[in-house]
Amino acid sequence: MIRFQDIPFTRLDMGRYRRHFEEELERLKGAGSFEEAYDALLDLDTLMVKYQTMAGICEIRSTMDVTDVFYKEESQRCDQIRPEYEALLSSLQQALLKSPYRKKIEDYTGSEFFLRAEKRIRCFSEDILEERRLENRLSARYSELTATLKGRTGEEEVPLLALNEKMESGDRNVRARYHRIWEEAWEGAAEELDELYDRLVKVRAKIAEKLGMESYTEAGYCSMGRTCYTREQVADFREAVKHELVPVVERLFAEQKERLGAQVLYHYDENFNFPGEKFVLPSDAIEAFRHIFGKMSKETAVYFDELTAGEYYDLKMRPGKINGAYSNLVGRYHMPFIFETYDATPKAFSTFAHEAGHGFHSWLKRSEPFSFMEDCSAELAETHSMSMEFLIWPYLDTVMPPGQIEKYKYQQLKNALSFITYGCAVDEFQETVYDRPAMTPSDRLDLWKRLEREYMPFRSYENQSFLSEGRFWQKQTHIYKWPFYYIDYVLAQVCALQVHFLNEENHEEGMRCYMEILRLSGRYGFTDTLHMAGLASPFEKETIRTLTQKALSALGELAVPHL
């Protein structure tokens, strides 16, 4: 197996690529038999993998170090040609939807790909290519800006990633100090962050206008390929969260404040649930998860061995590395690549499990006849990863001291509930912003402050600075780069908790359910996949209430200090 660092990067000749793609597309359109159409589609799929691999390698290596001149230039070039690739992809989708062999092809791919294609072609037009290029440039600037922010600690300036350990310190005074340093760094970028987002909102509004859509909210739902639910159902779901879950989460934080003996629970206290809490987590994530995945199943053991043999991961901290984590499929090499800055904190540990869950799905689906069958809806993709955060629980005793396991579980379960409330705030924020693109930057800050009061009434800020101004959302990469990709995490959290409780009751049944979701994803839509795997849809009336009660019961059963 070739190691990731040894994979050669070759710039794509877009003119030659386009001619080859269009030749195969004409062969698909003119196919006189299913066999000929199928063969043409296989060749087109190979071409799609070629582009995606080139773009993926470029993204990975540029996000490893945004100051790398070569990959910065290549990344900018990718941003320029991506709309041209999307135009070719849209032409392919239209041809498949009109193909007389559509039903026969669906026997191999399932119908979900075609249903998502119907949505996606509605949000593409040759008329929006320039707007898409500008959108890509603005999004790239956000990544560069946030990756190069530095905090001043005394006389020294350090990348913000280097502050993480101190910001997670068990000493409240230490983490308060380093959160102030972090805020001061972001405050220095506030004006540009406002301007960037304002320009992104306006260019996206222009895209929606050119597509003949009422607002970019409609375009966002189409681009996400949502086939199973509407924005009205999402709004009802958010209301259920406000009514059923927010009061419970508020109570959990009130108990936490009393347990810690704090007069005010500030935002930097939210992850500290017990007095004197200090987690001792593995410094080497790779070796820790080799034990975990080696015990979980035969499939996960082989997957992780291959991932590590080729060094398809980057967990090191370095200047210029972007904030965040992801798992990208390197298609031509049939392997996912896991990206994170691992600092041995509880958040970093669960994040690695999360990204490894994404990677496991990519690895498991590589035997499908077409690569696009790995491309499932985002809610399902996040169910794969968020479920994995809980599926590692039975193996924590191999990598953690016994005395901290129950506390780790308590924190993760409580955080899962509070995350649902935060994610709903993000979704309502974006929907409101794109429905009302004339809002000023100041209006958006006021909107966020209102949503924090509704969804996160437990949150308090110590400093009259960046976060208290209503800017917490500006550190959320998705809001700038991938609009409307956030409620997907929330819906996935609801599903992941169901997988978790099933796994706690019956491990074999929990793993069966999880593996079924992995195999069905991409072939079927979100709600159909859930029902076939045996889970309830988040949109069903009692789902949030039932899940909230189960979570409260599970929190009460953990052997940790309570009031």
Distance CA 224, CA 487 (A): 11
Please give the sequence-ordered ranges of beta strands (E in DSSP) within 10-163, or none if there are none. Answer: 150-153, 156-159
**What DSSP character marks residue 560?**
S
Q: Which domain holds residue 86?
A: 4-109
Structural domain contains residue 176? no
The pair of three-digit structure tokens given for residue 195, joined into one six-digit string: 């301007």
Structural domain contains residue 163? no
Output the CA torsion 1→75→69→190 (10° steps): -120
Indicate the residue type of 315.
L
Which is it for the CA torsion 260, 266, 272, 277, positive or negative?
negative
* Location of structure tokens 């001043």: 152
Q: Which helix (H) or strand (E) holds 337?
A: strand 335-339
Instruction: Judge whether 512 and 535 are in contact, CB under 8 Å.
Output: no
The pair of three-digit structure tokens given for residue 349, joined into one six-digit string: 């540990």
Q: What is the CA radius of gyration of the chain?
A: 23
Please give the sequence-ordered ranges of beta strands (E in DSSP) within 122-206, or none if there are none. Answer: 150-153, 156-159
Q: Total structural domains in the chain?
A: 1
Structural domain contains residue 560? no
Instruction: Give the helix ranges, DSSP H, for 99-158.
Output: 102-109, 112-120, 129-147
**What DSSP character marks residue 333?**
G
Structural domain contains residue 368? no
Structural domain contains residue 80? yes
**214, burial (CB in 10 Å: exposed 0-12, middle 13-18, buried 19+):** exposed
Between the two ends of the chain, the Cα-to-Cα distance in Å is 54
Q: What is the pLDDT along the chain (563 residues), one digit of tens a residue?
A: 899 999 999 999 999 999 999 999 999 999 999 999 999 999 999 999 999 999 999 999 999 998 999 999 999 999 899 999 999 999 999 999 999 999 999 998 999 999 999 998 999 899 999 999 999 999 999 999 998 999 999 878 998 888 888 898 888 999 999 999 999 999 999 999 999 999 999 999 999 999 999 999 999 999 998 999 999 999 999 999 999 999 999 999 999 999 999 999 999 999 898 887 778 899 999 999 999 999 999 999 999 999 999 999 999 988 889 888 999 999 999 999 999 999 898 899 999 999 999 999 999 998 888 988 888 999 999 999 999 999 999 999 989 998 899 999 999 999 999 999 999 999 999 999 999 999 999 999 999 999 999 999 999 999 888 999 999 999 999 999 999 999 999 999 999 999 999 999 999 999 999 999 999 999 999 999 999 999 999 999 899 999 999 999 999 988 776 65
Distance CA 489, CA 351 (A): 13
